[in-house]
Amino acid sequence: MKRKLVKQGVATMMISLPSKWVKEHHLEKGDEIELERIDNNLLISSKTVNKKTETELKLERTDESEIRTLITNAYRAGCDRVKVDFGDEKRFRQLNKIIKSNLIGFDIIKKEKDFCIVENITEPSENQFDNILKKMFLSISELLEITEKRLTGSKEDYEEVEERIQKYDNFCRRVISKNRVLGKKSEFFWTFLSMLMHGQREIYFLNEKLEQKTSISDKTKNLLGDVQELFSLISNVYLKKDIKLLSKVRELHKDAVYKKGQTLLQSKKGKENLILYHMIIAMRQFYHANSPLFGLILK
């Protein structure tokens, strides 16, 4: 849709708004609209974009994973207020724990006998998307550093870092769903995040395996260094918008997965093989982030 600029006064330029859009948002003379500059783009929004969206959920099982999936996806979808029929106190306690550990800015503002209201009360601005994404990169790097230490017998806490990563990912997906900041690159961002999260979850599962004492060879420990380097390259491609680094990503992935990784898988047994499996799948997922990442940095 194109509009011609009309000069008004010495320096002001004006455009007309599409009549269909004006009618859909019930705008009249004197109403205010919002203008937001995003890079080289100018986003025009009606006041109605700030209207809070609501939904209802019913928790029918005490399964923690199911409760987390329901409330997390309501959050990701952009809902600002959720009525949750929790049924019993056990489900309520699980819900409350998930909200505190996974959802930035959400809290329970009202509780009755068998339902509660969850609402957005302290959420960061959507314009913080890039900063939150950078925090997620740093947290995944931190998880990898903790994993390196745990491979040598350290007992450092990895659960707290995992919760942070989940919070940042959920917030970024929430911003994507609202589709007011990222525009046509939203789908690239969603896929990019999915690949990163699949990769880091493999590192989380690896750490779960390390809860049980097992002997890890130096070659397996060294392979984690390749995982760290691969993720670092992916991060720098995004942060520096350096497309040349993508060739290094491909070369490192090919060497680490198809030469070192597969050779080690054939020579190791037992729990160490599980550790290797999670490292290799993590590298595969990080590598798959290459494709949507290319779409993000392409001008």
Question: pLDDT tens across 192-233, in order?
Answer: 999 999 999 999 999 999 988 878 999 999 999 999 999 999
For the stretch 65-109, pLDDT in tens is 999 999 999 999 999 999 999 999 999 999 999 999 999 999 999
Domain ranges of the chain: 6-50, 54-120, 126-297
CA distance 282 to 272: 15
Q: Are residues 94 and 66 in contact, defined by beta-carbon separation less than 8 angstroms?
A: no
State the pLDDT confidence band at 62, using cuts at 50, 70 and 90: confident
Which tokens go with 209? 């395996």
Looking at 3.40.1400, 1.10.443, 1.25.40, 1.20.58, the CATH number of the domain 126-297 comes to 1.20.58
Q: Give the distance, in angstroms, between the CA of residue 9 and the centroid of all CA atoms in the same chain.
A: 46
| Fold (CATH) for 54-120 | Ribosomal Protein S8; Chain: A, domain 1 (3.30.1370)
**Residue 179 phi, psi (nearest 5):** 55, 40
Q: Taking residues 126-151, report their average pLDDT.
A: 96
Q: Is the pLDDT at 10 greater than 70, yes or no?
A: no
**Cα–Cα nearest to 297, from 232, 248, 234:** 234
Tens digits of per-residue pLDDT, 17-51?
Answer: 888 777 766 677 777 777 766 556 777 776 544 56
pLDDT attached to residue 69 = 95
More confident residue, 159 or 127: 159
In this predicted structure, what is the pLDDT of residue 40? 62
Indicate the residue type of 221: K
1.10.3470, 3.40.50, 3.30.420, 2.10.260: which CATH number matches 6-50? 2.10.260
